[in-house]
A and B are shown apart, each in its own frame.
Chain A
């Protein structure tokens, strides 16, 4: 009997192996016969759902040989953008008669799958490799490596378990998605802040502003020595920071504007390196003011018509009737970033034409959506000065136009200026009210979400409009673990002409602090000479890197499906 039993046991295990039979077809009923898995950070996420296995585009130069890593066509030590992909057979190891066929679908030229150092699927010189088959000789512990060419590369890999007759036993398909390029919004934590330090002698300097940043942010702030970069102070305009993330990976990219003024080499000088790249979209010959990145912003997370945008939405200014537009290559790139689906608004009425001149967002944990939308408020400006006498002195505003002041030495000279009143009425009717409706529609905002920043605009002859009261909506938010600080222009609505004097009695400052979230520390800095009279303000003169939030592959996959629809 024993001999029969042993023969029986043997027949259970050995005979199937010899004859090619298996425990497939469900095994114990709860495990798949074949399963593609990725990095442990995915946890229990079903990778067959979009976006599947994700990776950061391999656009850097980890081996510093002057060539983009994607162009190397072979993995190398230190190339840290490759992601692991395992093909497993949970119901048992491959038998001698079984094999697994991998096939690639979608944008095959946008990805590569390596087995060791060999490309087995995807882009190669010549026709893409579409299919790869392996058998039990391959060590199942070894991962395949997946490489992505660019942002939102969209492909898929299907693993099919085949029996001895090459018939399909089981199959599993997983999307492969290159990480989207995510721009930062004002609710993210601050990492580092920069301002260009300049001194133009009696014509002005930004010492007080730099000093304030240093005192508040400490080692999260660095002053850039202006003379090294042509005293180009508009650091917000030259660079836009963003990042790509995937499980265990982060790659920072700064978009270098085609604006190409004094600051142009700063990113390459200071930041470019391992896992930090610089990208340019468009040609300098076509540059317009709208190609600067004060004109490119991101909302906090919003829900619009039932669709969640966990990383917010990109918005930028278009010239509409003025004919000015952001360069097409960059607009196209941004339009591809469906996770932060962009929209445009009218900035053609402004001389500079940047969206940050009249809109922004600030964090507010007490707000229904966790933030407030800050929008230029004409009525609020007049209200803020309503209790002041006509003779109330405005030291800065009375200085000589057009480069030092506005020729309005008193509140009366502003409040009784018929052209100024009429002009701002027109701006509100023609632009501010309709554009606000567009923001509400595109971001799912209500009046409850909005705070109106006291703002008045003045015409720059032959150019368009610009802030008369230093544009306080043009602010920068610094979030740190224990604090939120906002840096914005000192409105100088008083006789004093330095930011060290009189802020405590400035009615415009009082109005702003009264309407804004109470947990925020406000720093009204002197930007008058260097920025305000140069048609910009604090946000224009500051740039900041921020920490990524959340894992886009867990919370934003539905947006990739929306795009497909």
Chain B
């Protein structure tokens, strides 16, 4: 039996009518901010509308700027920035970066970038503007020291970064962050699936005065599948003087990578010089061909 076409249409309409007329649950203010924060296409239009939307009060934005979710508080701060300091935000948006002597490293040498209130606008530009990765890295580094929460912001940037160069810039900045954010950020980076990020984290860890707090993670990184990461982890343990981790360096003294062998031997010599000297007498370290490693071996033997 087939229904008359008109009857089919009427039946379908009757079934759909409740769904069509039911009202969608309104988004919370936090959800709207996250939606805006994560928007790619159409972001600037939506942001401008939000800035002009009087239903979003400055008081509410001020509260949301303290929200535990980084995306919420960042977006709230951005909207506040455009409302309260539009000239500063514009100056940040329009500024040209200056290449350093190494052309792939840029700086912003503009007065606006030294204003603490510039942080939200810098963050917005870094996440949404169609700048090159080199410029985005410069924007990230412009945040260092600009606000009290810059370290936490850098963790958020690491999570939100869509390019490796920006992620590397964020990890590099952890070198100067206060302990909680700095160590947390490096721990997160040491767990990332991208080898370059793990390598960078291991290299940065070496430079933190409290880097020994990461000793456990760095010892694990000695077995990383990526040789540059292993090398930087080995280096870090030497720079940080991880005496308790000396034994962890032994297995990589004959690593296939010369860089790993170099840093492992050197670090072992730094934390346990007698052990290093004994290991040099073992047959597995004979036959070294890398000039740098041979120089270190020669130095240790000549002591």
Contact = CB atoms under 8 A, between A and B. Distances in A.
B111 A201 contact: yes
A401 B200 contact: no
A351 B110 CA distance: 24
Contacts of B209: 417
A417 B209 CA distance: 8
Interface string B90-132: 0000000011111111011111011000000000000000000
B101 A535 contact: yes
A461 interface: yes
B133 to A, nearest CB: 12
A460 B144 CA distance: 15
Given A203-B113, A402-B141, A422-B270, A536 B101 contact: yes
A403 B144 CA distance: 9
B204 interface: yes
Q: Determine the interface band of chain B, counting residues with CB < 8 A from chain A.
A: 35 or more
A460 B110 contact: no
Given A237-B101, A459-B203, A533 B145 contact: no
Interface in A396-432: 400-403, 407, 417-419, 422-423, 426, 429-430
A231 interface: yes
Given A403-B107, A403-B142, A352 B102 contact: yes
A261 B99 contact: yes
Interface stretch (B21-29, B79-87, B291-299): B291-299
Interface in A434-493: 434, 459-463
A20 interface: no
Contacts of B219: none
Given A400-B144, A402-B144, A418-B240, A462 B172 contact: yes
Q: Which of B99, B100, B171, B204 has the most CB of A within 10 A?
A: B100
A454 to B, nearest CB: 21
Interface in B189-219: 200, 203-204, 206-207, 209, 211
B281 to A, nearest CB: 21
Given A234-B101, A407-B176, A463-B102, A203 B111 contact: yes
A422 B102 contact: no
A237 to B, nearest CB: 7
Main secondary structure of the interface of A (DSSP, over half): loop
A358 to B, nearest CB: 14
Nearest to A430: B292
Contact of A461 (B98, B203, B295): B203
A426 B102 CA distance: 23
A552 B231 CA distance: 50
Q: Determine the interface band of chain A, counting residues with CB < 8 A from chain B.
A: 35 or more
B168 interface: yes
A201 B112 CA distance: 10
Interface string B220-243: 000000000000000000111100
B71 interface: no
Contact of B239 (A351, A418, A461, A534): A418
A238 B110 CA distance: 24
A401 B176 contact: yes
Contacts of A430: 262, 292, 295
Contacts of B141: 402-403
A534 B144 contact: no
B263 to A, nearest CB: 9
B114 A203 contact: yes
A27 interface: no
Contacts of A461: 168, 171-172, 175, 200, 203-204
B207 A459 contact: yes
A261 B100 CA distance: 11
A24 interface: no
B98 A418 contact: no
A200 B101 CA distance: 16
A234 B98 CA distance: 12
Contacts of A119: none
A419 B207 contact: yes
A65 to B, nearest CB: 37
A202 B114 contact: yes
Interface in A530-565: 531, 533-536, 540
B73 interface: no
Contacts of A426: 266
Contacts of A535: 100-102, 105
A259 B99 CA distance: 12
Contacts of A292: 101
Given A292-B101, A422-B270, A430-B295, 9 more contacts: A201-B110, A202-B111, A400-B176, A402-B144, A419-B211, A434-B291, A461-B171, A463-B102, A531-B101
17 contacts: A203-B109, A231-B98, A289-B101, A351-B102, A352-B101, A401-B145, A403-B144, A419-B240, A429-B295, A430-B295, A461-B172, A461-B175, A462-B168, A533-B107, A534-B101, A534-B107, A535-B105
Nearest first, the 6 closest Cβ-Cβ pairs linking A and B are A461-B172, A203-B109, A536-B101, A200-B109, A400-B145, A534-B100
